[in-house]
Structure 1
Amino acid sequence: MRRQSLRDGDVIFSEGKRFAFGFFSLGNSKLRYVGIWYAQVSELTVVWVANRDHPINDTSGLIKFSSRGNLCVYGSVNGTEPIWSTDVLDTISEPALVAKLTDLGNLVLIDPVTGKSFWESFNHPTNTLLPFMKFGFTRQDGVDRFMTSWRSPNDPGFGNITYRLDRRGFPQMMMYKGPTLWWRTGSWTGQRWSGVPEMTNKFIFNISFVYNPDEVSITYGVLNPLVITRMVLNETGTLQRFTWNGKDKKWIEFWSAPEEKCDNYNHCGLNGYCDLTSPDKFECSCLPGYEPKTPQAWSLRDASDGCKRRDTASICNKKEGFAKLKRVKVPNTSAVSVDMNITLKECEKRCLKNCTCVAYASAYHESEDGAKGCLTWHGDMVDTRTYLSSGQDFYLRVDKAELARWNGNGSSRKRRLFVILISLIVVVMLLMIILLFFIRKRRESKRHRKPPSTFAPSSFDLEDSFILEDLEDKSRTRELPLFELSTIAAATNNFSFQNKLGAGGFGSVYKGVLQNGLEIAVKRLSTNSGQGMEEFKNEVKLISKLQHRNLVRILGCCVEFEEKMLVYEYLPNKSLDYFIFNEERRAELDWPKRMGIIRGIGRGILYLHQDSRLRIIHRDLKASNVLLDNEMIPKIADFGMARIFGGNQIEGSTNRVVGTYGYMSPEYAMDGQFSIKSDVYSFGILILEIITGSKNSTIYNEASNLVGHIWDLWNKGEATKIMDELMDKETYDESEVMKCIHIGLLCVQENASDRPDMSAVVFMLGHNAIDLPSPKHPAFTVGRKRNVKNGGNSGNWPSGETGSSFNDVTLTNVEGR
């Protein structure tokens, strides 16, 4: 606490010295401001500024209390008029307030006797929202807390971007550029804003939303007080969330908005909605029952004029119904009617009784009791969008004809389904006949084809041509070099045994050297490979689009005659399993190298799941599919089994389970359900294998596998016993290894919903002190007893499934239940 004056150069610290208050300058400017900044962060990071528009020209400034109890900033020691002041009411006859800076970053004026607060900086945000900072309106004090951007990175003056909680209708957060609405979060669904599907990280934040007549506010708490995080409204109109990485001494951005076209407010005009699930299709469509106002503009992909009710549409005639739009960020809720005390079914009836009601939805659709409350729209609807795997159901009032078009009903729907079924059967039969004919012709042509004694010039069969057309489609892949077979043969010494790096279920891998001296690795698919044309195309298309330090880089491909080959960068240290499952080579891996490998794999998976333009589920993460360059930097490889998801899709299902036992999550192995959490499970297995130097298939006590053994020791408080004995104890901090074991167990929990996502995992790995939740029982803790010695490796670059380790069996044709 402090009562006396503060000169330029004096600093007040919070009790734990997390924050500091005093004078500062930005960049190369000599202008002086008064504010609060992080004291524990090496980079000056200001979180609050007092005299935003009134900087002091030199270091003669002074901070002191006025005679009426206000804390004031003066331009000079002898100044009489303050350039900034708190707004404490002049009701104290003998002011005795003191200033206190809390460890949350809140500057508070309090009565030291009663402890009553008269003013606090948290009620006057600038461009930064800190944890536990209340955001919104409280009727008791009449304070409306909102953010305003800086003018520029070196000018904290009031910018033209504001971000505030709109209390009209049903609450939502709004971002404005000047008077123009720029982005909105969507309404509160009970767990998150409907337009922020990423707002689900239970490992970092604890979110409190208050909605009643006396208060509408939101507070973001942090579960671990040691985590340093902040939300910033920057001067360009982007909301960003950062965390401080103490090791690299820099701020890491892990979320921002708006981010894509559909985020821009009113992108598709009145009564339109935005949908990015089909990349080749115009993202804007009209809501059911509506049509474009200006079809010519829509044909040119300009939806700014929006949509109008169809001329033939007729509602409020007791013959209409509701078209259901799924996974929606509902339209602007500023003018909706709200009733939190009725069910969704009652909401539908209420809307039908009111001829002005055009749509309805539940208010809290993710509450513990299911859908709750009723929102009804009256008039035009604006800023609607759909997601692949989030949002809520939205019901639009349409006439009978439109309802039949949108949903189908009664016997007409049954007839349509019957026709579709019959059509599908006919199409499948025709395709089978064509396929059988094609296979027969192909076999006949092979019998009469003379095998080339030397490598002939490029020629392609029907399947190969299709691949090349796909590769040459610049809208779908970047330009990818096509190598001639003769070039690859010369580089690999005619695929000699001496050049062979390893072999797997899909063929062999060879080292090669091109004429320009570039070393390459060639993945040559065998003719009877389980990886067919679809898997080959999938790997080429995927990996050619992905660019990341922790993903293997593809240089090109070759498709000639029966040959299908992928050309990669050559990585001299082969694969991860080549090291960690061999005692001699494993001894070379001290803890810093192992930790670097763990973090690198994590960053690569996070890129696949979240940061790349696509969302990729790898589905076959294992030690043999992690390659190591000459600096032991890990690179994820083998994308033949990967699946592409839309921007917000996080799960899918299949009847063809592919992957490797020992690394496969239970929901995927047993039911064919895969998601980003499937890869998280595989990553957890990798973490535990890297720490122990043992395969998950290793049997302990005649029953438990590696995970089960670790779980038993963890419950006994003896988890340190599983650390690799070949690891030099002087190279690691036991608490850091224990943290990684803890994270590994969180990743392999039986229920997918309990596992953290990769953003949380990478965050936890990057912070030294984390209060992690207790892991629940892991999956597959019982191994299979076998009479095979564990050890060795499963091949070299990228090693396949040699040997008989149950942990290394790749599945390509297992039927999910």
Structure 2
Amino acid sequence: MNTQTVSLHFLCLFLLLHLIDSLDTLVPNNPMKDGDVLVSQARKFALGFFSPGNSSLRYVGIWYFGQPERTVVWVANREKPVNDTSGVLAFDHYGNLVIRENNGSLPIWSTNVSSMTSNNSATAQLLDSGNLVLNHDLSKVVIWQSFDYPTDTFLPSMKLGLDRRTGLNRFVTSWKSKDDPAPGSCSYRLEPTGYPEVFLYKDGAPYWRGGPVTVRVLKTAYGFIYSNSTIVINAEEVTEMYGIVDASVISRIVVHESGSVKHFIWHDEEQRWTEFLYYPKEQCDYYGKCGSNGNCGANNADQLDCTCLPGFEPKSPGDWYLRDGSGGCKRRQGVSLCQSGEGFVKVKQLKLPDTSTVHVDMNLSLKECEQECLRDCNCTAYSSANESMGEYGCLKWYGDLVDARAFSDAGQNLYVRVDAIDLARYRKRSTLVKKVMAATVSVSVLVLLLLGCLVYCLLLNRKRDRRGRNHLFSVTTSSTYIDQIPGLKDLNSKGRRKTDVPVFDFGSVAAATSNFSSANELGQGGFGSVYKGVMNDGTEIAVKRLSKYSGQGNEEFKNEVMLIAKLQHRNLVKILGCCIQEDENC
């Protein structure tokens, strides 16, 4: 009995471990019914049957695991739903993964891999990237993957673009609506021709263009996220793939049925998706808003500002005046652009015109590119392939320039072919602008220098004045001593009157006048005699010493000092200070 119990426990443990080990994998002879769920190893994604929105139809899809609301990133049978909950996901006898309903013999969806030979030769595994892969059981080679057949969501590590070997072109297509995951009217594609770039199409026509793919740095309200968009162009593929440096960040790009590409980031603390980037969002984002050979430069999301590229003029001036630039621009009549002194005018900071039809030569420098374009009379414009990594590679446009857009702090330089007259005019304008800028800079520098010199001189004079006063008068009067002198209420705490007349030591004045020697007496004045004196640094001064018997009190003396301090006349000497010490005033 005990032996049977132990064996039963081991059997249950074995089955439990087998179940846990196979949660992310579907194997032959073990179909997945509606209600069953596959969960990736790190519990990031789940696969199973679901009903979108208000629909009751059933689809097999992949969604983020453990989020409050189901966010579906891939749908298998998006065009052929199961009508009820009888659906089954299983392997057929060829080894393909299929969806059947009501135990029907014909599948409504299949991986349709023609190289499969046995139903026991493959397994299906849901990866933590959100990719469902069909592996050959013996060689472990991936023979099919959901990433090759995306629906409306572009995930990190997923490739978009063309596989030249198989002809498979991967692109993202919107749902018809939130209740119907069937292909909608909008698609997000990497165009492999010319110089590859991403496009958003609506109803089959270009709706928004991302420009040539380069490394982009994205920032959210929760910190920096470095998103690298990488493009591969070789004999085997023309593809784009984006990746997030921080593996903890959950990111997805969705093509919405309304006609927009939205980039979402999952905010774990708030348990919600945050939309921090979307296109198109400004008037100039819409494809060809200013027509052929026009340049769109919107100041804000609602304002449209169309101009013609150098050498072109509006096709319909009336519409252009009414701010409708969709008609675009044309060459002026009678211009000669072939071996007649023509050249190129540089237009700065542009989203380059549509590059899907350009001629590309990655072996040419920018200077060599100019020479090549100049020799070919049909070459409309040229640019470098990627200025962010140095001016290398040559792009040459032939015919109209479509969907150029101006930026204030980004973009590349485009060199547009113009005739000799326009070339001379633009060169003259450029020279004039440079001269004005140089003159402006020179005047600004000169004004700054003059202001600096003026401030320096004022500070220097003030410093000298203070230093001179300190040398002339050794001010030692303390606030305690001043308070003992009646009638001096308007002397401040440092011994200075409110009229800013310094108070200095009587001893220094006596020393300067040889103790008021009669030899230094200049004459008699009101209430006292006037003496000449010489300070230690050689400065000559005149001192009026109030007579002890003059009858003038401190109040009269104070008023006289204040009056002289306020008077300014060429025949009056400037008062340098006063002295009040016991019964001595000067």
Q: Which bracket does the TM-score occupy, shorter chain normalised?
A: 0.5 to 0.7
Q: Which amino acid aligns with 2:205?
A: T
Counterpart residue number, 1:758: none
Aligned pairs (5 A) from 1:405-444: 405-408=425-428, 413=431, 417=435
| 2:287 is the alignment partner of 1:265 | yes
1:251 Cα deviation from its structure 2 partner: 0.6
Tell me the alpha carbon deviations over residues 89-124 of structure 1, each in whole angstroms, 9 at most, x when there is no partner: 144256421110001110011012211111000000
**Aligned equivalent of 2:360:** 338
- Pair 1:315 & 2:328 matched: no
Contact persistence 1:197–1:390 (CA under 8 A): no
- Residues 374-396 of structure 1, C-alpha deviations (whole Å, 9 max, x = no match): 00011111000110011001000
Inter-partner Cα distance in structure 1 for 2:206 and 2:433? 47
The structure 1 residue matched to 2:170, chosen from 130, 137, 145, is 145
- For residues 373 and 228 of structure 2, the distance between their equivalents in structure 1, rounded to whole angstroms, comes to 35
Letter in 2 for 1:372: Y
For residues 414 and 43 of structure 1, what CA distance do their matches in structure 2 show? 62
C-alpha distance in 1, partners of 2:395/2:265? 36
CA deviation profile, 1:274-325 (whole Å, cap 9, x unmatched): 0124899851000000000110111111112111001142211241111100
Query: In the alignment, does 2:62 pair up with 1:41?
Result: no
1:162 aligns with 187
Residue 399 of structure 1 is matched in structure 2 by 419
Contact conserved, 1:136 with 1:218, CA < 8 A, in 2? yes
**Counterpart selection for 1:350 from 372, 394, 419:** 372
Alpha-carbon contact 2:133-2:146 (below 8 Å) kept: yes
Shift of residue 213, structure 1, vs aligned partner: 2.6
How far did residue 142 of structure 1 move?
2.8
* 1:294 maps to 2:316: yes
Asked if 1 retains the 8 angstrom alpha-carbon contact of 2:58 and 2:82, the reply is yes
Deviation at 1:243, TM superposition (A): 1.0
Q: Secondary structure at the match of 1:366?
A: helix
Read off the aligned partner of 1:382 and give its amino acid letter: V
Give the C-alpha shift of residue 207 in structure 1: 3.2
Aligned residues: 418
1:317-345 Cα deviation digits (max 9, x unpaired) = 24111110000001111111100001000
Matched AA of 2:431:
R
Report the residue type matching 2:419 in the other structure.
D
Identify which of 41, 44, 50 aligns with 2:76: 50
TM (norm. structure 2) is: 0.67
Q: Distance in 1 between matches of 2:97 and 2:306?
A: 53
* Matches for 1:61-100 after TM superposition, within 5 Å: 61-76=87-102, 78-93=103-118, 95-100=120-125
Evaluate the alpha carbon distance shift between residue 280 and residue 6 of structure 1 in structure 2; reply closer, same or farther with a 3 A threshold: closer
What's the CA shift for 1:26? 1.8
| Structure 2: distance between partners of 1:93 and 1:277 | 62
Deviations 1:61-114 (A, max 9, x none): 1111111111111122x2111111112114425642111000111001101221
Give the residue type in structure 2 aligned to 1:356.
N
Is contact 2:340-2:419 (8 Å) kept? no
- CA deviation digits over 1:27-70, x for unaligned, max 9? 23221111100013221000000111211121111111111111
Tell me the C-alpha RMSD between the 2 structures: 2.8
Distance change (3 Å), C-alpha of 1:414 and 1:174: closer
Partner of 2:403 in structure 1?
Answer: 383
Question: Is 2:340–2:420's contact at 8 Å kept on the other side of the alignment?
Answer: no
Percent identity (aligned)? 45
Q: 1:284 to 1:119 in 2, by over 3 A?
A: same
CA gap 1:348/1:121 in 2 versus in 1, 3 angstroms: same
Q: Is the 8 A contact 1:277 1:387 kept in 2?
A: no
The partner residue of 2:386 within 361, 364, 378 is 364
Alignment partner of 1:104 is 2:129 = yes
User: Could you tell me whether the CA contact under 8 Å between 2:55 and 2:180 is conserved in 1?
Assistant: no
Higher strand share: 2
Q: 1:331 to 1:206 in 2, by over 3 A?
A: closer
- State the Cα deviation string for residues 494-531 of structure 1 (Å, max 9, x = none): xxxxxxxxxxxxxxxxxxxxxxxxxxxxxxxxxxxxxx
Which residue of structure 2 lines up, in the alignment, with residue 738 of structure 1? none
Query: Does the CA-based 8 Å contact 2:93-2:118 persist in structure 1?
Result: no
Larger Rg: 2
CA distance in 2, matches of 1:365, 1:347: 14
Which of 368, 373, 381 in structure 1 is aligned with 2:393? 373
In 2, distance between residues paired with 1:241 and 1:35?
Answer: 21
Matched residue, 1:740? none
Equivalent position of 2:347 in the other structure: 325
Asked if 1:121 is matched to 2:139, the reply is no
Does the aligned pair in 2 maintain the 1:329–1:386 contact within 8 Å? yes
TM-superposed CA distance for 1:210, in Å, is 1.0
| Structure 2: distance between partners of 1:280 and 1:134 | 34
TM-score, normalization by structure 1: 0.49
- Aligned 1:627-642 pairs, distance under 5 A: none
Q: Name which of 206, 228, 242 aligns with 1:181.
A: 206
Is 1:136 aligned with 2:161? yes
Contact 1:191 1:366 in 2 (8 A): no
Within the candidate set 15, 23, 38, 1:12 is matched to 38
Tell me, yes or no, if the aligned pair for 2:96 and 2:116 is still in contact at 8 Å. Answer: no
Aligned AA for 2:182? G
* Paired position in structure 2 for 1:766: none
Instruction: State the distance in 1 between where 2:335 and 2:298 align.
Output: 27
Taking a change above 3 Å as real, the CA distance of residues 109 and 361 of structure 1, as seen in their structure-2 partners, is: same
Which residue is 2:457 aligned to? none
Q: 1:321 to 1:278 in 2, by over 3 A?
A: farther
SS in 1 for 2:387: strand
Task: Tell me the SS of whatever aligns to 1:262.
Answer: helix
Gaps of 5+ in 2: 1-24, 448-586
- C-alpha distance in 2, partners of 1:54/1:397? 53
Distance 1:202 1:144, change over 3 A: farther
Is the Cα contact below 8 Å between 1:364 and 1:373 reproduced in 2?
A: yes
> Contact 1:343/1:374 (CA < 8 Å) preserved in 2?
yes
Give, in whole Å, the separation in 2 of the partners of 1:28 and 1:416: 64
Alpha-carbon distance in structure 1 between the residues aligned to 2:236 and 2:367: 29
Greater RCO (CA < 8 Å, at least 6 residues apart) = 1
C-alpha deviation, 1:138, in angstroms: 2.0
Could you say what secondary structure the match of 2:371 adopts? helix
Q: In 2, Cα distance between the equivalents of 1:83 and 1:305?
A: 48
Query: 1:2: which partner in 2?
Result: 26
Whole-angstrom distance in 2 between the partners of 1:57 and 1:376: 54
Segments ≥4 residues shifted beyond 3 Å:
196-199, 201-204, 277-282, 412-422
1:320–1:400 Cα contact (<8 Å) kept: yes
Q: 1:228 to 1:400 in 2, by over 3 A?
A: same
CA distance in 1 between partners of 2:360 and 2:294 (Å): 23
Whole-angstrom CA distance in 2 between matches of 1:275 and 1:324: 16
Cα deviation for residue 413 of structure 1 reads 3.3
Q: 1:181 to 1:211 in 2, by over 3 A?
A: same
User: Which of 248, 265, 286 is the aligned partner of 1:226?
Assistant: 248
Distance 1:207 1:279 in 2: 25
Matches within 5 A, 1:568-583: none
Unaligned stretches of 5+ in structure 1? 430-817
- In structure 2, the partner of 1:27 is 53
Alignment correspondent of 1:560: none
